[in-house]
Structure 1
Amino acid sequence: MSKIFFFNGWGMDKNLLKPVKNSTEYDIEVIDFPYNIDKNSIDKDDIFIGYSFGVYYLNKFLSENKDLKCKKAIGINGLPETIGKFGINEKMFNITLNTLNEENLEKFLINMDIDNSFCKSDKSFDEIKNELQFFKDNYKIIDNHIDFYYIGKNDRIIPANRLEKYCQNHNLAYKLLECGHYPFSYFKEFKNILDI
């Protein structure tokens, strides 16, 4: 059976996808930080989906494995230039990292526009903070390997207008969604994500 490899966002785990039904013919394999994946388990009919920072790590994986064949790669509310003019302002990123505590993490989740369907990660606060530090320490701009982007119009984490400009500047296909950074109040089923 073919698979959807879902590259998760910062601080997230499999709980993020609990509210999303899978009525597709694909098995879902959730890839969390540190985004280890056995490339021998990938088939040409498999689909990659990246969400938030997972879009960056999906691009990184695909750029390091250019010989890999897949059906398509989809990005949701993220991009390979996560920090900078098309993504998160570098100053804001550093403030988030340097002031991160449990209270600020809760505020961050609220700014993602989560709703009652959101299922919190089982990761510890230290694990979540270490992920963000690792991202900063190892960040570099990488080329795009995503075929199609979904952009939440009301995204306050990775501003929608910047991500849209990135897609326009790189002549990439995209669709605007009526949601914030958290897209699973909009997407209730995986088949809706694949319907591009």
Structure 2
Amino acid sequence: MDILNIGEFESTPVRQLSLGQRMRADLCASLLHNPDILYLDEPTIGLDVVVKKNVRDFVKEVNRKRKTTVILTTHDMADIEKLCSRVLVIDKGSLIYDGNLEQVKDKFGFMERMELILEDELQDLNWFYENGIIEINRNEKDLVLKYDKTKINSSTILGYLMSKNTIKNFKVYETEIDEAIRIMYLKNDMKGNI
């Protein structure tokens, strides 16, 4: 009751509860008999960020303390990243992936994005096109590059840029899990399976 903050509405009739309150109460009720397996279907849909965190924390605690197996169906990639160690991806009724989350990122998260602020505006972009940079966006001294990290790495890009310019700041972003899953679906559609 403490983690899910149910005390604040425990005397309120169900019809007067908000969606978030009903979700929390249903989650609590589903665990009254200490089940071995808990099936959750979109447990955080429609919840605000604070309630989502509380629900995720609660599910993790139940899994850890009670050793309850949690089977979660969701489209919320943040739920997957925060709660799941094993992922099954289903496309059109067929299982296309069964493994851990890190393997999804390793196998399908090969795109990176680099954002840079340069001392001077970069004039010549030919090197980037010749070396496999997929997308280039430039606005004066700001430069955003998208590339396949299996073909060219960030060190190579930075080395080239440092030989031509002064880098004032840069950030490298890995592929987010939803983009990796999208790539997985695209590859499945093109190949028929993975």
TM-score normalised according to structure 2 size: 0.25
| Greater radius of gyration (CA) | 2
Greater strand proportion: 2
Question: Which one has more relative contact order, counting CA pairs under 8 Å at least 6 apart?
Answer: 1
Q: Give the structure with the larger helix fraction.
A: 2
